[in-house]
Amino acid sequence: MADFHTELHEAHTFLKEHVHSASAIGIVLGTGLPSLGDRVAKRVTIPYREIPHFPVSTVETHSGNLIVGSWGGHEVVVLQGRAHYYEGYSLRKVTFPVRVLRMLGVSVLIITNAAGGLDPDYAPGDIMMITDHINLIGDNPLRGENDDDMGVRFPSMNEPYSKALLLTAEKAEQELGLTLRRGVYVAVPGPSLETAAETRFLRGIGADAVGMSTVPEVIAAVHAGMKVVGFSVIANVNIPESLTPAPIEEVIATVRKAESRLVNLIERFLMLLNS
């Protein structure tokens, strides 16, 4: 724990000269969404491997850069790429960047991911606002000694996704004339995709989309007192009776098609946060 604390402070010390606002907005970019970082003006790009103790994603589909700059009237700190549990990282390591963002003053976190749809009404390319989540990873980033400086031992999860931020996202949706989905995201460890029986089970326990990320970051963010809004891009739709392969190339191609809609949504969301 002492080591973890020291590591957080070393990363914070390294990054703090680049972040000027005490109320910067954090953004985590998921699979197939790296170009969102291109919208950031006056940007400084820092590769994760240069930041002390940052986990470096081993997945080719994730670039690993922290980008600081301005977008939508805010200073933003963008995590372009993330580490996953399935890569072998502990959830403490997976959530390390989110905790550093908190130390940098980030209090609003926008999280994105690519997910498999479980609601049969969903279509590939849909964007889902995450209203709640289910953690089936079988682990928790807060396991072990609690960091009392960061948050309490037993943080509430009654509102992991801020209702106020959801309303702001809905306003952005209306202004842009988009139709977003609203649903529950379930996190599984991966990296194998779900069987038909698992898909049926996940739907049965109340999930609308499934993926291999996000939930650990949200738990760490809520623990540290951040407000979170989450968007899933539905890359494929999994129907137990007619389950088809979901190759990563197709997942990325579908997400790319939704990317400009998501970028516009986040930009409008940021602008509305000012008002």
Q: Where on the chain is the footprint of ligand HPA (CB under 6 A)?
A: 114-116, 193-194, 210-212, 235-236, 238, 246, 251
**Could you tell me the smallest distance in angstroms from the CB atom of residue 89 to ligand HPA?**
17
**Could you tell me the smallest distance in angstroms from the CB atom of residue 118 to ligand HPA?**
9
**Could you tell me the smallest distance in angstroms from the CB atom of residue 180 to ligand HPA?**
18
Q: Which is nearer to ligand HPA, 47 or 204 (CB)?
A: 204
Residue least distant from ligand HPA (Cβ): 116
**Could you tell me the smallest distance in angstroms from the CB atom of residue 74 to ligand HPA?**
29
- Residue of 122, 126, 269 whose CA lies nearest to 207: 122
Q: Which is nearer to ligand HPA, 167 or 197 (CB)?
A: 197
**Could you tell me the smallest distance in angstroms from the CB atom of residue 235 to ligand HPA?**
4
Angle between helices 96-103 and 215-223 (to 10 degrees): 30
Q: Which is nearer to ligand HPA, 24 or 91 (CB)?
A: 91
Q: Which is nearer to ligand HPA, 67 or 187 (CB)?
A: 187
**Could you tell me the smallest distance in angstroms from the CB atom of residue 189 to ligand HPA?**
10
Q: Which two tokens stand for residue 275?
A: 């008002």
Tokens 């999280």 belong to residue: 111
Q: Which is nearer to ligand HPA, 162 or 213 (CB)?
A: 213
SS (H, E, C) the chain: CHHHHHHHHHHHHHHCCCCCCCCCEEEEECCCCHHHHHHCEEEEEEEHHHCCCCCCCCCCCCCCEEEEEEECCEEEEEEECCCCHHHCCCHHHHCHHHHHHHHCCCCEEEEEEEEEECCCCCCCCCEEEEEEEEECCCCCCCCCCCCCCCCCCCCCCCCCCCHHHHHHHHHHHHHHCCCCEEEEEEECCCCCCCCHHHHHHHHHCCCCEEECCCHHHHHHHHHCCCEEEEEEEEEEECCHHHCCCCCHHHHHHHHHHHHHHHHHHHHHHHHHHHC
Q: Which is nearer to ligand HPA, 28 or 114 (CB)?
A: 114
- Kindly report the backbone phi and psi dihedral angles of residue 78, in degrees, each rounded to the nearest multiple of 5, phi listed first: -105, 130
Q: Which is nearer to ligand HPA, 235 or 265 (CB)?
A: 235
Q: Which is nearer to ligand HPA, 255 or 273 (CB)?
A: 255
**Could you tell me the smallest distance in angstroms from the CB atom of residue 3 to ligand HPA?**
32
**Could you tell me the smallest distance in angstroms from the CB atom of residue 113 to ligand HPA?**
7
